[in-house]
Amino acid sequence: MFFRNRSAHTDRLELKFSVASPAQWSSGGLASPGKLLRNLDDDFESPQQLLKEALFQARGLNRSNLAAAKRLKITTGLQQRLWPTLAAARDALRKNEDGVPEPQPQRELLDMADQAIHALSASYQLVVEADYRIDERHGRAEQARILEASVRVLELAHLQQRLRALRYQPLPRGAWQTVNTLFCLLSRAGAEDTPVPALCDDRLLLDSDGTTRALRIYTLIQAFGLFDCFAWSKRRQRFLDSYCTAMPDALVITYLPKTAVGGVVRFTHAHQDAPPRRSAEQGSTHRILIDCNVLADAVRRDKETGRQHLTQVASTTANCLAGLPPLARRPILRAMLRNLEHGVPPHRPSETDRHRCDFRLETGFDRVSQHLQTVFTSDQAKRDQLLRNAAFAGRSATQGDDVAATAGTEWLVLQQSDQHIVVSTKETRYTKPIALGALAIYGIGDEGFLRPMIGEVARVVRLDDGQILIGITRRARFGTLVNVFATVGDDSTDSSAAQVPCLLAYDDDLGWCVISSPRSSLPVGCPIQIRTRQLRVTTRLRRLRAITPHFMLFELDAMRPRLGTPSYPSARRRYRHSRIIVTSHLRGVNEPSEEVRRPRRKLG
């Protein structure tokens, strides 16, 4: 029996899967299951064609009345055939830092991969439903099929979670509920740590003999839900798995816990359709406790030793940290600790905070530079053109397949503070390029966009209803274009040094800083000279405060430059004195503040 030599559970577990029964399709069995698999052995011109054919076959399989053993065998064959293609799509996606919108071929491939995973998972769920008995009296054959089908669903859910996170998409609610239900089912049978031959290729999920275990896969699925992976670059998301796997007891998962655990804990249950929560849901049964204290202690320890050379620190996570760039270690550990202690932000903020306003946004180093050049130009025609095009800046897409689609792409402000802002819009294939870590320039209304803030795209979440959420962290309240030259000494006048176009920025908390493209070769501590047609400022790159795949932000020497507090040209100067507006991009830098008025020159 499935529960032989174990005490019977008094509370029964209901599956509550949301898969359609084959009986409702009024179709018989497959004409030739062997032919179904042979059709996928053909050579296909592209992965898209293979996935399209496999998706057609899997959907047909789910509509056919088959015995559980036969369905399991066919579905396993489909998964074996598709896994190399799905894994290759995942690995390729990890290597780029592209944002949204996705290129058309990539979007088609990944959308079909997501649908194929869903169809295969549904087929395995039909196997479990066919063999499962509410009184939990199962024979050995049923037990073996339930165990294998459950592990296959967990393998697919793990892959789907990683693929969707790389696309800034959360795991579907139905997938969360399925993995929680199946883990509880296996835990009640004492089979959650039973080895099963693996079909997945992830080394972090495999034992040395090529087997995997439900507990291991489920732990990494839950670990990913503990962190805000939508604020992590694609190359850093893999670090989460490596760091948690480095500690065998990073997460201790207990079904129906008998004792309370303090510290950092999370709760879920058999029918929960979301990541683990900080408190147990009222009235929930089949509860699961996730003890995160070992993981939290390791993060705190590594964060405190982060100033040292971590490859010399004797800890189980030293190798994981050594694989990160030194400047990325402490920010990542701080973000991990913040998520563990305070939880992750919701995918969709409260609708009560949502309000419409004329929000303008441009992203990318080149677009930010072009906008600032127009802000400081003395050419009134260029400035008027900027204001005429402001309506397009207030939308995420300037064109669409129809007028209705474009009309729905206004930016909606969901949360706003001095340092952070969260906005949303409807995503289309014409959405302006937005990448995690990209430089952003933003403001509200004409005046706000002519006196813009400089920020970083710190979070991207794509929701299943077509909405996209963008979180922006402010980096500076002022920015202007300059040329930067690396110098040997403070008085260097070598005009042969290569110039690096940069932004000279200012924020009240940070002071003066330089923002450069990641393609520049400016090192930390480098003495530099900031030049314009009217100004030469010699200083030093004191510290690297931010680095992303799209820009670098250097803090300047605290004592230099002594340029006062900058400001953008005021409306009065722009419109009443347009003849003498900025002849240098450092007009705002030369004038300490716009409240200080110059004395009028006496005539005669």
Taking only the tens place, the pLDDT of each residue in 354-372 is 777 888 899 999 999 988 9
Identity (one letter) of the amino acid at 311?
A: T
Boundaries of every domain in the chain = 1-212, 226-344, 351-370+391-459, 478-568
**Mean pLDDT for the stretch of residues 561-574:** 70
Q: Kindly state the percentage of the chain with pLDDT values over 70.
A: 83
Does residue 603 register a pLDDT over 60?
no
Q: How confident is the model at residue 260 (pLDDT cuts 50, 70, 90)?
A: confident
Give the pLDDT confidence score for residue 395 in this predicted structure.
Answer: 78
Residue with tokens 């489909």: 78
Find, among 322, 298, 289, the residue nearest to 308 by Cα: 322
User: What is the crossing angle of helices 47-62 and 104-131, to 10°?
Assistant: 30
Give the pLDDT confidence score for residue 284 in this predicted structure.
Answer: 85
Give the pLDDT confidence score for residue 561 in this predicted structure.
Answer: 62
Give the pLDDT confidence score for residue 601 in this predicted structure.
Answer: 44
| 404 touches 419 (CB < 8 A) | no
Give the pLDDT confidence score for residue 304 in this predicted structure.
Answer: 84
Give the pLDDT confidence score for residue 346 in this predicted structure.
Answer: 87
Instruction: Name the pairing type of β-strands 478-486 and 499-507.
Output: antiparallel
Triad 525, 530, 534: Cα angle to 5°: 165
Q: Is the pTM of this model over 0.85?
A: yes
**Mean pLDDT for the stretch of residues 140-167:** 96
Give the pLDDT confidence score for residue 179 in this predicted structure.
Answer: 98
Whole-number Å distance between alpha carbons of 231 and 228: 6
Does residue 574 register a pLDDT over 80?
no
Give the pLDDT confidence of 262-290 residue by residue, as tens digits: 899 999 999 999 999 999 988 888 999 99
| Among 20-34, 98-112, 230-244, the least confident range | 20-34
Whole-number Å distance between alpha carbons of 48 and 30: 24
Burial of 443 from C-beta contacts in 10 A (0-12 / 13-18 / 19+): buried
Tell me the helices (H) and strands (E) count for the chain, helix number first. 18, 18
Q: How confident is the model at residue 188 (pLDDT cuts 50, 70, 90)?
A: very high
User: What is the crossing angle of helices 140-166 and 68-94, to 10°?
Assistant: 20
| Among 21-25, 299-303, 333-337, 344-348, the least confident range | 21-25
**Mean pLDDT for the stretch of residues 371-389:** 75
CB atoms within 10 A of CB 384: 10
Q: How confident is the model at residue 2 (pLDDT cuts 50, 70, 90)?
A: very low
**Mean pLDDT for the stretch of residues 182-201:** 96
Does residue 308 register a pLDDT over 70?
no
Residue with tokens 């998706």: 55
Whole-number Å distance between alpha carbons of 580 and 587: 11
* Higher-scoring residue by pLDDT: 322, 187: 187
Give the pLDDT confidence score for residue 186 in this predicted structure.
Answer: 97
Alpha helices in 167-277 (DSSP H): 173-189, 214-225, 234-245
Give the pLDDT confidence score for residue 534 in this predicted structure.
Answer: 74
Radius of gyration of the chain (CA): 29
| 478 touches 467 (CB < 8 A) | no
* Higher-scoring residue by pLDDT: 439, 22: 439
* Higher-scoring residue by pLDDT: 596, 534: 534
* Range among 341-355, 469-483, 568-582 with highest mean pLDDT value: 469-483
Give the pLDDT confidence score for residue 396 in this predicted structure.
Answer: 83
Give the pLDDT confidence of 495-550 residue by residue, as tens digits: 556 788 999 999 998 889 999 988 877 888 888 988 877 778 888 898 888 888 89
Cα dihedral sign, 154-156-162-165: negative
Give the pLDDT confidence score for residue 550 in this predicted structure.
Answer: 92
Query: For all residues of the chain together, what is the average pLDDT?
Result: 84
Whole-number Å distance between alpha carbons of 404 and 51: 32
Burial of 519 from C-beta contacts in 10 A (0-12 / 13-18 / 19+): exposed
Give the pLDDT confidence of 69-89 residue by residue, as tens digits: 999 999 999 999 999 999 999
**Mean pLDDT for the stretch of residues 210-237:** 94
Provide DSSP, 233-257.
-HHHHHHHHHHHHTSTTSSEEEES-
Q: How confident is the model at residue 597 (pLDDT cuts 50, 70, 90)?
A: very low
Does residue 584 register a pLDDT over 50?
no
| 63 touches 27 (CB < 8 A) | yes
Q: What is the dihedral of CA 37, 41, 47, 52, to 10 degrees?
A: -40
| 505 touches 566 (CB < 8 A) | no
* Six-digit token string for 356: 């419409």
Give the pLDDT confidence score for residue 432 in this predicted structure.
Answer: 87
